[in-house]
Structure 1
């Protein structure tokens, strides 16, 4: 197994730990639970630090788009996440 496959498997495992036994519908409602949301953010931070520049660039692009949508309005931000 090459390093990229190892990193992908590790990332999948970390994400699976957050969402194990949770349906996509529950994820939307469970984000109101501070512990779930903190775990989600911690996972993103750990993935950003551990996995190479390709994932880092994707997360940075997400942050840019999030901030641009938020600067326009909260409805624009909501639309950003729904679409």
Structure 2
């Protein structure tokens, strides 16, 4: 529980990603219904794509850390 062998931040980031995309999608749908096909709704959908890119960049750093730890453990066995 108190060790840093398992990180909880990737789970938190995944949850934040789901919440962010859901809110952006709901906002885009509401914008399309209230003002028709407008640039604001399209911008919200584009923001959802950029949110995905942003969260993936963060997750790549955590995956790099995980793979680096596996490499270090493998080298220690040899």
- Specify the structure having the higher radius of gyration (Cα): 2
- TM-score, scaled to structure 1: 0.42
The answer to which structure, 1 or 2, has the higher relative contact order (CA under 8 A, 6+ apart) is: 2
- TM-score, scaled to structure 2: 0.44
